[in-house]
Amino acid sequence: MKNKKIWLVICLILLVYFIGGIVYNVLKKNDGNKNKTFEVDNSVQIKGFDYILYDDDLIIYKNEFNKLKKNLESSNINYLEYAHSISKMFLIDLYSLSNKKNMYNVGGLEFVYPDARDNYKLNVTNTLYKYMKDNSDGKRNQVLPTVSNVTVSSDEETTYKIGETNFEGYKLKLNINYEKDLGYDKSAEIFLVKQDKYLYVVEKN
């Protein structure tokens, strides 16, 4: 009788331990998923290019991404429309601070000329993103801008000199609207250059 009681206690302890382990793993998994800010949607990529859409990108960004995807995957790329798309996406991503995890999650970086990316990131973190609070725990209550629309007011073909090399490219003027006016830039002038099959942002005023 005594042995049966001992075995019963052991079985109960093992059962509690087993159930506790399952509950812990489930909670840990859910917590890990909650803190994942940038999950790649692998079904939305552009063939032959490095552009990838992320789950937390804004709807207007996703819509422009789809236009860009259709253009770049066509048999005859329209480079002026390409310039329009990445200029809009660049500004949407740069000025929408509300969906950024922290000041180092700099928007628009993938559209910047590769040799200028380090300086661009340093400049943005020291100016536009300088006072952004960290949101790793998802509890940030800071009011930050969200771009609601970007339109192109003018465009033209141009050349742009980098070092001793002249690149063909485009100059665009754009207007920026926000969900709430917090005093951020409402217009921008962007210069882009063409290198191989890519267009890159080289200057923003």
Q: What does the domain layout of the chain look like in residue ranges?
A: 40-130+141-204
> Mapping DSSP to helix (H, G, I), strand (E, B) and coil, where does residue 201 land?
strand
Helix (H, G, I), strand (E, B) or coil at 133: coil
Q: How far apart are CA 197 and CA 81, in angstroms?
A: 14
18-28: pLDDT as tens digits: 444 443 443 33
- How many residues does the structure list for the chain? 205
pLDDT at 143: 95
pLDDT tops 50 at residue 37: no
CA distances from 115 to 48, 118, 119, 177 (A): 21, 7, 9, 30
pTM for this entry: 0.78
Question: Confidence band (pLDDT; 50, 70, 90) for 132?
Answer: very high
Quote the pLDDT of residue 54: 84
Instruction: Return the top range by mean pLDDT from 51-60, 73-82, 129-138.
Output: 73-82
Other Cβ atoms less than 10 A from the Cβ of 83: the count is 22
